[in-house]
């Protein structure tokens, strides 16, 4: 089944199969949020889901939600946070040109957004999980999910954990989406599954006025009085798009996404005149932890040089390894610091001496010896003036044998998804290159470029997907 041209003129629609105020395309976390919010504002909503049930990539994710500014969970766990500190962190972490207005709203309204999840039945256990950044194996509700506690961010904003995790052991995305989808079921919104939105209907004067979707083998034109909200995921599983737009990600082995993360939502929006931004960026996780004690090792590149503080968030480490080090990285440990990593990882080399290890890793003669000697000299004093790793993880590596875990993209797990997509206003309106909103067209989630591309922290995708999904749903509902 070939794809038709992604827009169709309203004049060419013979008759509408049905009408609604808001049509939501895709029912992952962003689409569920848009649906709930629009329905909550008395809009008649039709949500189209391409799979046989909602959930999308959100349901297969760790379920971490980036929330802060002083949520109940943060307070009960004894962490002080404020919208201003959250704002400062996200502004510092989110690349050279962060979206200040979006980050401001995301931070200022984060406590209210947390309460929205609670109101819809998402449970959070107010226990902080300290052993890992990212989704905990326990049902604990709060983790560090970015580099808040690592240099340079701990100098810029007061660190606070902001990864909020629904209460279930391990991967929590399933519970999150079950809960949100149950709320959708209870709402007046209509959900149509196995419905593939293939075209946006564009009226010359009124903008986007509906969609054409394939449902049960037939094309249905569905009119949207208020707007269409594209929440159809990213493009990590569209090989051609990745090759064209984010070629660095091709070297990463593990793609986080469903088969429907094929960029269809982005392409629909582009065809209607939407601009894309940050298309080259991805979330790239290189989990050198757990256990966190492995951060006592040093990460070196293909020249045996360090390139980052090893206690930075694994998303930041992955970005640096891929974009700056050509995917070449080894985690060097000694007999005292070695532990079996919980993420399966090959041993790239061992040696009775550093020189032996260096040779086994194929590093230039003297390079690793030089790096380690300098590192150890400072580590004797508990210092890391090169990259400012936190003192808890700074110990000399001087007990043979030495070994290195393989953290190259060629041989180890890098989990990626795309962060580029449609550019939107804080109300979720899809914008043209000239900055105008396209009437009737909204987007949220990974169909858009989120607030942290680059500089991803876990939970930001579900965080901004739901946050700006809600705003889009509300704006479209009011527009009807």
Question: CA 85 to CA 92: how far, in whole Å?
Answer: 11
Question: CA 201 to CA 188: how far, in whole Å?
Answer: 24
CA-derived radius of gyration, the chain: 23
Taking the least distance from each CB to a copy of itself, the nearer of 32 and 453 is 453
- Say whether the peptide bond before residue 290 is cis (omega within 30 degrees of 0): yes
**Least distance to a copy of itself from the beta carbon of 225, Å?**
23
Taking the least distance from each CB to a copy of itself, the nearer of 119 and 377 is 377
Taking the least distance from each CB to a copy of itself, the nearer of 180 and 453 is 453
**Least distance to a copy of itself from the beta carbon of 233, Å?**
15
Dig out the tokens for 29 from the structure.
Answer: 């976390």
Taking the least distance from each CB to a copy of itself, the nearer of 151 and 178 is 151
Q: At what angle do helices 110-119 and 83-93 cross, to 10 degrees?
A: 100
Cβ contacts of 265 within 8 Å, gap of 6 or more: 25, 26, 230, 231, 232, 233, 421, 422, 443, 447
Taking the least distance from each CB to a copy of itself, the nearer of 338 and 387 is 387
**Least distance to a copy of itself from the beta carbon of 288, Å?**
19
**Least distance to a copy of itself from the beta carbon of 408, Å?**
15
The answer to whether 14 touches 210, Cβ cutoff 8 Å, is: no
**Least distance to a copy of itself from the beta carbon of 264, Å?**
10
Taking the least distance from each CB to a copy of itself, the nearer of 37 and 99 is 99
Handedness of CA 392, 135, 139, 405 (dihedral sign): negative
Taking the least distance from each CB to a copy of itself, the nearer of 184 and 363 is 363
**Least distance to a copy of itself from the beta carbon of 247, Å?**
4
Q: Which residues make up the interface to a copy of itself (CB under 8 A)?
A: 3, 6, 9, 95-97, 204, 240-241, 243-245, 247-248, 250-251, 263, 266-267, 270-271, 273, 275-280, 303, 305-306, 323-324, 364-367, 370-371, 373-374, 377-378, 385-387, 423, 432-435
**Least distance to a copy of itself from the beta carbon of 259, Å?**
18
**Least distance to a copy of itself from the beta carbon of 367, Å?**
6
- Please state the separation of Cα 420 from the chain's center in Å: 11
**Least distance to a copy of itself from the beta carbon of 164, Å?**
29
Taking the least distance from each CB to a copy of itself, the nearer of 306 and 470 is 306
Query: What pairing do the DSSP bridges indicate for beta strands 7-9 and 195-203?
Result: parallel
- 3-state SS class at 267: helix
Residues belonging to the chain: 480
For the residues of 87-99, what is the DSSP string, one character each? HHHHHHHS-SS--
**Least distance to a copy of itself from the beta carbon of 382, Å?**
14
Taking the least distance from each CB to a copy of itself, the nearer of 247 and 382 is 247
- 3-state SS class at 380: coil
Taking the least distance from each CB to a copy of itself, the nearer of 341 and 396 is 396
**Least distance to a copy of itself from the beta carbon of 63, Å?**
31
Query: What pairing do the DSSP bridges indicate for beta strands 218-230 and 437-443?
Result: parallel
Q: Residue 45 belongs to what H/E stretch?
A: strand 45-48
| CA–CA–CA angle 134, 67, 171 (5° rounding) | 35
Dig out the tokens for 91 from the structure.
Answer: 């502004």
Question: CA 197 to CA 231: how far, in whole Å?
Answer: 11
In the block, which residue shows the tokens 């890098």? 414
Question: CA 231 to CA 224: how far, in whole Å?
Answer: 15
Taking the least distance from each CB to a copy of itself, the nearer of 40 and 455 is 455
Nearest to 164 by CA among 415, 445, 467, 414: 467
CB atoms within 10 A of CB 244: 11
């Amino acid at each position: 089944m070939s794809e038709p041209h992604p827009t169709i003129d309203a004049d060419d629609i013979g008759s509408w199969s049905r009408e609604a105020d808001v049509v939501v395309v895709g029912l992952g976390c962003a689409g569920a949020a848009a649906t709930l919010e629009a329905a909550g504002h008395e809009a008649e909503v039709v949500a189209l889901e391409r799979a046989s049930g909602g959930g999308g990539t959100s349901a297969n994710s760790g379920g971490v939600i980036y929330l802060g500014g002083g949520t109940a969970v943060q307070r009960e766990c004894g962490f002080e946070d404020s919208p201003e500190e959250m704002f400062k962190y996200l502004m510092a972490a989110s690349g050279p040109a962060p979206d200040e207005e979006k980050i401001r709203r995301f931070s200022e309204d984060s406590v209210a957004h947390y309460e929205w999840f609670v109101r819809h039945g998402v449970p959070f256990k107010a226990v902080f999980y300290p052993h890992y950044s990212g989704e905990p194996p326990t049902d604990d509700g709060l983790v560090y999910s970015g580099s808040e506690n690592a240099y340079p961010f701990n100098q810029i904003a007061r660190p606070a954990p902001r990864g909020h995790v629904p209460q279930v052991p391990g991967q929590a995305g399933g519970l999150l989406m079950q809960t949100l989808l149950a709320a959708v079921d209870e709402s007046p919104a209509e959900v149509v599954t196995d419905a593939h939105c293939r075209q946006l209907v564009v009226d010359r004067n009124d903008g986007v006025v509906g969609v054409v979707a394939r449902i049960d083998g037939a094309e249905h034109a569905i009119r949207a009085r208020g707007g269409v909200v594209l929440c159809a995921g990213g493009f990590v599983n569209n090989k051609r798009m990745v090759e064209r737009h984010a070629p660095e990600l091709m070297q990463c082995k593990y793609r986080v996404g469903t088969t429907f993360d094929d960029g269809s939502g982005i392409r629909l929006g582009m065809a209607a005149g939407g601009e894309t931004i940050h298309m080259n960026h991805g979330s790239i996780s290189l989990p050198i932890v757990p256990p966190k004690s492995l951060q006592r090792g040093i990460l070196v590149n293909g020249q045996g040089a360090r390139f980052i503080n090893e206690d930075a968030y694994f998303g930041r480490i992955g970005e640096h390894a891929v974009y700056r080090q050509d995917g070449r990285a080894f985690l060097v440990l000694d007999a005292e610091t070695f532990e079996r990593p919980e993420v399966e990882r090959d041993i790239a080399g061992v040696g009775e001496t550093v020189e032996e290890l260096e040779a086994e890793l194929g590093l230039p003669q003297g390079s690793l010896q030089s790096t380690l000697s300098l590192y150890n000299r400072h580590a004797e004093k508990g210092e890391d003036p090169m990259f400012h790793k936190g003192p808890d993880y700074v110990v000399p590596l001087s007990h043979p044998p030495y070994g290195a875990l393989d953290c190259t993209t060629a041989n180890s797990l890098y989990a990626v998804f795309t962060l580029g997509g449609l550019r939107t206003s804080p109300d979720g309106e899809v914008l043209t290159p000239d900055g105008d909103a396209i009437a009737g067209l909204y987007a949220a989630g990974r169909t858009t470029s989120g607030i942290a591309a680059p500089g991803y922290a876990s939970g930001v995708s579900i965080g901004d997907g739901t946050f700006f999904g809600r705003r889009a749903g509300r704006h479209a509902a009011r527009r009807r």
